[in-house]
Amino acid sequence: MKTAFVTGATAGIGLATVRTLVANGWRCVATGRRQERLDALVAELGADKVHAACFDVRDTGALDGALAALPEGFSDVDLLVNNAGLAKGLSPAQNADLDDWHTMIDTNITAMVVLTRKLLPLLIERRGAIIAIGSVAGSYLYPGGNVYAGSKAFANHFTLALRADLHGTGVRVTSIEPGMVETEFTVVRTGSQQASDDLYRGVNPMTGQDIADTILWIATLPPHLNINRIELMPVNQDFAGFRVARD
Ligand code: NDP
Ligand code: 8X3
C-alpha cells in the first residue's frame, strides 16, 4: 500500500484527493489547521487509512513535529501533494493589504518549498512522486491577481524546476494548473459566501473531485511516464484577457 502526504486536506481539492486516494487503496497523511475536520476525515475513512496531522504549514517547528510524529505505515511517503494554499483579497496592488500579501507568500511559496525540501530525501529513496497544485493564475493575469498570481507562477515554475534537479532519480514531478474550481477558495479570498456563489453561478466550474481524479490518474500511471504539467479549465472559462485603456 502506498502513502500520500496531502497538504490542505480539510476542504476542497485536498479533501477530495484524500477520499479518492484512499478509495483506490492508498494511505494518506491529511494536513490542515482545522482539527475537527481532520478528525471527521479519520472517522469517515479509518485510522488505518488516514493519519491526521494538524498544523499550520507556515510554522516550520510544527511541521518538523508533525513529520517526526508520523506513525509506522504513514512515514514512508511515496507521493507528496503540495496543495495547501490560498488567495487573500482582490484589490489592485496599489490598495492591497500587506498582511494578505505576506500570508500568500508565506503559505503558497515558503511553506511549499520548506516541506518539499524536507521530504525530498525520502522521496528520492522511495522513487516517489510530487504533484503540486499551481494555477492558471500563474500564467494568465487578471486584475487583482497580483501576489496570488505571482505566488502561483512561482509554484508552477518551482515544480517544473524540481524535474531538472531530480533528473535520474526516478522521482516523478507534475505541476497541475487548474482554473476555476468551486471549493472554499473564493470564500477564503473574499470573506463572503455570496461573492463565491456569484463568481461560480452559471459557470459550471470544476470541482475538487475533478482535480482529485486528475491526481489519481497521474499518480497511477506506469512508472516510466511523467506528466510535466497539465492545465485544466471549465469549458465556460478561457484565457482571453487583453484590455486597452484609451486616453
Ligand atoms: P480550499 O480553501 O477549499 O482549501 C484550501 C486548503 O488549504 C484547506 O484545507 C486549508 O486548510 C489549507 N490551508 C490554507 N492555509 C493553510 C495553512 N496556513 N496551513 C495549513 N493548511 C492551510 O481551496 P482549494 O481546495 O481550492 O485550494 C487548494 C489549492 O488549489 C490552493 O493551493 C489553491 O491556490 C489551488 N487552486 C485553487 C483553484 C480554485 O479555483 N479553487 C484553482 C487553482 C488552484 P485549513 O484552513 O484547515 O488550514
Ligand atoms: C485560482 C484560479 O481562475 O480563480 O487559482 O484565478 S482562478
CATH of the domain at 203: 3.40.50.720
CB of residue 138 inside a 6 A radius of ligand 2: no
**pLDDT attached to residue 205:** 98
Q: Which ligand is nearest to the CA of 38?
A: 1
pLDDT at 20: 99
Assess whether the C-beta atom of 56 lies below 6 angstroms from ligand 1: yes
Buried b (16+ CB within 10 A) or exposed e, 117-145: eebbebbeebebbbbbbbbbbbebeeebb
C-alpha cell at 68: 517526526
Q: Is there an atom of ligand 2 within 6 Å of 180 CB?
A: yes
What is the C-alpha to C-alpha distance for residues 179 and 238, in angstroms, rounded to an integer?
Answer: 9
For the chain, what is the radius of gyration of the CA atoms?
18
pLDDT mean over 185-203: 98
The protein residue whose alpha carbon is closest to atom 21 in ligand 1 is 32
Q: How far apart are CA 33 and CA 156, in angstroms?
A: 24
What residues are paired with 5 via a beta bridge?
A: 29, 80
- For residue 43, the CA-to-ligand 1 centroid distance in Å is 22
Q: Is the pLDDT of residue 102 over 90?
A: yes
Q: How far is CA 237 from CA 147, 154, 178, 240, in A?
A: 21, 23, 11, 9
pLDDT reported for residue 241:
83
Q: What's the structural domain count of the chain?
A: 1
pTM of this prediction?
Answer: 0.98
Q: What is the mean pLDDT of residues 219-247?
A: 96
Q: Report the pLDDT averaged over residues 42-53.
A: 98
How far is the centre of ligand 2, averaged over its atoms, from the C-alpha of 246 (Å)? 28
Q: Calculate what percentage of the chain has a pLDDT beyond 70.
A: 100
Query: How many whole angstroms from 136 Cα to the centroid of ligand 2?
Result: 6
Specify if 243 maps to a domain: no
Task: Determine if ligand 1 sits within 6 Å of the CB of residue 126.
Answer: no
Give the atom of ligand 2 at the shortest distance from the alpha carbon of 135.
5
Q: Is residue 238 part of a domain?
A: no
Contacting residues for 19 by C-beta, under 8 A, at least 6 apart:
44, 45, 212
**pLDDT average, residue stretch 219-235:** 97
Cβ(101)–Cβ(152) below 8 Å: no
Q: Which domain holds residue 160?
A: 3-227
What is the average per-residue pLDDT within 87-102?
98
Nearest CA to ligand 2 atom 4: 180
Residue 241 lies in a domain: no
Q: Is the CB of 137 under 6 A from ligand 2?
A: yes
Compute CA 132 distance to the chain's CA centroid, rounded to the nearest angstrom: 6
- The answer to whether position 151 is within a domain reads yes
Longest Cα pair distance anywhere in the chain, in angstroms? 66
Give domain status of residue 155, yes or no: yes
Residue 149 belongs to some domain of the structure = yes
Active-site annotation holder among 140, 142, 148, 200: 148
* Residue 200 falls in the annotated catalytic set: no
CA-CA-CA-CA dihedral for 79, 155, 240, 242, to nearest 10: 180
ipTM confidence:
0.99
| Residue 178 placed within a domain | yes
Is 247 domain-assigned? no
